[in-house]
Amino acid sequence: MNNSKTCYGMTYFDENDLKETRINHRVELEYYKTEQIVKDNFKYGIEIRKKEYIKNSYTEEKNSIENISNSSDKVIEIINTLKKYKVTPVGLNDVLEDLLKIN
């Protein structure tokens, strides 16, 4: 079984996104397409990483879901939607469940 991942975008929370929170530091989101090859079959998934930069260091949170689809294009389309709405790792499961019901 081979595994790999490719970054398909990055975004961050700006002042407008954070004005109702008490967060006053940079928060970045990275979106990855994961790929597994099992017996010559491709299975694609998604990973989201959230980095919060505080002073001279950062904390990282991540969540991934494997085997979402056999279609790379479908997973890339989902990633673009997640990125557009700045979905965080904690929201990935619920949002993905809703998106898969629609598609």
pLDDT of residue 14: 72
| CA dist 36 → 2, 5, 7, 23, 83 (Å) | 6, 9, 15, 36, 22
pLDDT of residue 103: 57
User: What is the percentage of the chain residues whose pLDDT exceeds 90?
Assistant: 65
- Three-state secondary-structure class, residue 79: helix
d(CA 99, CA 27): 24
- Per-residue pLDDT of 47-95, as tens digits, reads 999 998 888 898 999 999 999 999 999 999 999 999 999 999 999 999 9
pLDDT of residue 1: 55
d(CA 3, CA 10): 21
d(CA 24, CA 51): 13
More confidently predicted of 55 and 31: 31
Helix (H) or strand (E) holding 85: none
